[in-house]
Amino acid sequence: MTSARCLLTTKGSNAIRAKTWAIAEQFSLATLYDAAFLAVAEEDEHLIS
């Protein structure tokens, strides 16, 4: 959880929050846990490539 917390407090945190909400709405998720995981994983994939 530390790595996710660090990523969420960096410069791109607003983008990740927005992506989290968009994913949650797209898939009608009742909580943000899974959407946040996907948003961070997607952002991490962009940083690696």
3-state helix, strand, coil in the chain (%, to 5): 75, 0, 25
For a pLDDT cut of 70, what percent of the chain falls above it? 65
What's the average model confidence in pLDDT over 39-48? 76
Query: CA 20, CA 47: separation in Å to the nearest integer?
Result: 17
Q: Does the pLDDT at position 1 exceed 50?
A: no
Looking at per-residue confidence, does 43 or 22 come out higher? 22
User: Would you state the pLDDT for residue 10?
Assistant: 56
Where are the domains positioned within the chain?
Answer: 2-48
Question: Which residues have C-beta within 8 Å of that of residue 31, sequence separation ≥ 6?
Answer: 24
pTM for the whole thing? 0.66
Query: CA 33, CA 20: separation in Å to the nearest integer?
Result: 9
User: Would you state the pLDDT for residue 46?
Assistant: 62
Q: What is the pLDDT of residues 31-42, one digit of tens each?
A: 899 999 999 888
